[in-house]
Amino acid sequence: MTSNSEIGAVAHAEIRDAVQRLVADFPGEYWRKLDRDREYPTEFVSALTTAGYLGMLIPEEFGGSGLGLSAACAVLEEIHRAGANGGAAHAQMYTMGAILRHGSPEQKARYLPDIASGKLRLQAFGVTEPGAGTDTTRISTSARRDGDDYVVSGQKIWISRAEHSDLLLLLCRTSPRDASAKASDGMSLLLVDMREAIGNGLTIQPIRTMLNHATTALFFDELRVPVANRIGVEGKGFKYVLDGMNAERILIAAECIGDGRFFIERAAAYAGEREVFGRAIGQNQGIQFPIARAHVQISAAALMVDKAAAMFEAGQPCGSEANMAKMLASEASWYAADMCIQTHGGFGFAEEYDIERKFRETRLYQVAPISTNLILSHVATHVLGLPKSF
C-alpha cells in the first residue's frame, strides 16, 4: 500500500503515471463485462483504496494523504482517459467533506480513519426526491425527533451506489418548509449506517439505466437514526450540502476532461490507421477538423477546471467557477464523444471498441449532478445580476 508520505511527496505528473499503471490492470474487457452484467467494479475500487487514492483529501491525522483537490482531479482524469470509470468511487473522495468540515470531533475520529483506509465506504448521498427534482428546498423526506433518535420517513431517487456503501449522507427535513424563515432552512444532514438500516426501515430498489452506475431509489419507513449521527447544527443541512457540491462538480468536470481525451486519442489513432479509397481517412479535413475542434474545446475546459480547483484549494468562494467548469467540461466531452463515434463510423457502435460505452457514460454529466440549464440560471442571476426566473 502506498503510504501517506509517498503520495504526498510526488508531483501530479507522478500521480498520473501511477494511476495509469494501476488502470492498465483493468482493460476494456473488464469494464465491458461489468457494463453488460450491471456489476459493481469491486476489484477496481479495492485497488484504488489500497493505493491510497480514495483517502487523498482526508488529512494525515485521520489516515489520509492530506492532498489538495487538484491531485484528486488528476487521479479521476487519468482513470477516465484510460477508458475506465471513476464513478463507482469518486463520492468516497468528496462526500466525507461534510464530516471533515462540519462533523464533531467524535464523528471525525470515529469515521474518517476507516473511510481513509477503505474499511468503511461512504459513497452514497441522499438528496434528490421524485417530487422535488433540482429544487432541493422542496424535499419532503422528514426526520422527527423521538428521544435520542430521529425517525425518518420518505423517499429518495437517483441515489448511486447505495447498495455498495456502508454509510449514507441523508438530507431530510427536521422542520416544515413553511415553518422556516428561508426555504433552505429546516433541513438537516444525517449519517445513516446502511448496515443497520437495511431491513429496519430502509428499502433499496435498483433502477436499471442506460449506464452501469448502480442507481437506486430509497424508501424510508420509520427508520431510526441516532441524533448523535446528525452532522452539524439541526436545520442547517442544506448549507453543508452546498459546501460539498463545489468539490463534487470540480471532480466530475475532471472526469469529463478524461473522457474527452479518451475520445480524442481514440479518434486520432483510428483516423491515422483507417484507410478508405487507398488513403488514411485522417488526411481528409472533414475528419481532421472535428478532432481538432474537440481538442481545442477540451483544452479550454481543462483550464477552467484547473482554475476552479485552485480556488477551492485556496479557500476562495468558487461556486460559479465550479459550475462553469462542470458545464464546459461536460459539453466538451459530449462533443468529443459524438465526434469519436462519427470518426469510427459503424465500428464506433461495436462493443469491443469501448466507445459506445464511454459515449453513454459521459452523456450523464450534462444532467447530473446538476443540469446545464441550472448552471446557466446560476450564472445569469449570481454572476450577471439578472433577475431570477419564475
Active-site hit among 77, 78, 248, 255? 248
Least-confidence region, from 20-24, 214-218, 264-268, 368-372: 368-372
* pLDDT score for 179: 87
Count of CB atoms situated within 10 Å of the CB of 27:
13
The dotted CATH code for 239-383 is 1.20.140.10
- d(CA 189, CA 245) in angstroms, rounded, equals 14
pLDDT for the residue numbered 243: 80
Which CATH number applies to 122-237?
2.40.110.10
Whether residue 9 is predicted with pLDDT greater than 60 in this model: the reply is no
Question: Please, which pLDDT band fits residue 8 given cuts at 50, 70 and 90?
Answer: very low
Each residue's pLDDT tens digit, 306-317: 999 999 999 999
pLDDT at position 6 = 45
111-123 confidence digits (pLDDT tens) = 999 999 999 999 9
Check residue 375 and give its pLDDT: 96
Instruction: Quote the pTM value.
Output: 0.94
Residues 262-281 have pLDDT tens digits of 999 999 999 999 999 999 99
Mean pLDDT of 360-367: 96
pLDDT of residue 4: 45
Question: Among the listed ranges 89-93, 208-212, 279-283, which one has the minimum average pLDDT value?
Answer: 89-93
Indicate the pLDDT class of residue 2, thresholds 50, 70 and 90. Answer: low
43-66 mean pLDDT: 95
Q: Looking at residue 23, what is its pLDDT?
A: 98
Asked if residue 257 lies in contact with residue 329, where contact means CB atoms within 8 angstroms, the answer is: yes
**Would you kindly state where each structural domain of the chain is located, as residue ranges?**
4-117, 122-237, 239-383
What pLDDT shows up at residue 372?
95
Mean residue pLDDT across the chain: 94
DSSP 58: S
**Residue whose entry in the numeric block shows the C-alpha cell 484510460:** 82
Tell me whether residue 6 is one of the annotated catalytic residues. Answer: no
> What CATH fold (topology level) applies to the domain 4-117?
Butyryl-Coa Dehydrogenase, subunit A; domain 1 (1.10.540)
**Whether 140 contacts 132, CB under 8 Å:** yes
* H helix intervals, the chain: 4-9, 12-23, 28-37, 42-50, 69-81, 90-94, 97-102, 105-117, 194-197, 237-273, 285-313, 319-344, 355-363, 372-378
pLDDT at 242: 85
pLDDT at 181: 85
